[in-house]
Amino acid sequence: MKTVLLFRHGQTPWNAQRRYIGSTDQSLSPEGRAALAGRAAPPVDRLYVSPLRRCRETAELLYPGMVQQVVEDLRECGFGSFEGHTYKELKDDPAYRQWLDSAGEIPPPGGEGKAESRERSLRAFLSLVDDPGSAALVIHGGTIMTLMEALEDSREFYRWQVGNGEGLRCQWDGTRLIYLGRV
């Protein structure tokens, strides 16, 4: 069994404004940095991060000076034409309603569907878990929910929502993630 910590990146300006932020490469907001400053994360042997700046900056705050292994396929899903918009701005758009009604299975225009995101994220995760020792992944809320839905016994998606800078402590038994609590 191996300890795996799944952290969501700290707050960005668009997170604070409740805008969809998938592939947009934003830095942490000053509030996001302040919330993470001085926070002691549990020690791990390996640190994996999404390539997006908000994750790399969060990893540096949680694990100062630790080598970050960037994993391209741990990025957030792409929201296509919904990127940068709020629910209020999109609520009357038929394509947005269709995407919501499908629980993300239908991709947003110019974006990535849930199945594509799941396959990519799982492939990336499974390529990492054979490495020895404990690991922290500093990734995205959607990526965490996708991995937990696919690899934890409840098979629920929204149960695994985490706030900015929050995380989940799990054990990997070789085939599934066993949830142990919040970090």
Our answer to whether residue 72 is catalytic in this structure is: no
Residue with tokens 């400053």: 37
Cβ atoms within 10 Å of 23's Cβ, excluding its own: 14
Q: Which of 9, 57, 112, 140 is catalytic?
A: 9
In the residue annotation, 76 being an active-site residue is answered as yes
For residue 120, what are the β-bridge partners? none
| CB-CB contact of 31 with 94 (8 Å) | no
| Tokens found for residue 168 | 């989940």
Cα 98 → chain centroid:
23
Catalytic residue among 57, 76, 112, 140: 76
Burial of 59 (0-12, 13-18, 19+ CB in 10 A): buried
Q: How far is CA 136 from CA 47, 52, 128, 149, in A?
A: 5, 16, 11, 18
Query: Both tokens of residue 160?
Result: 């695994």
Active-site positions read 9, 76
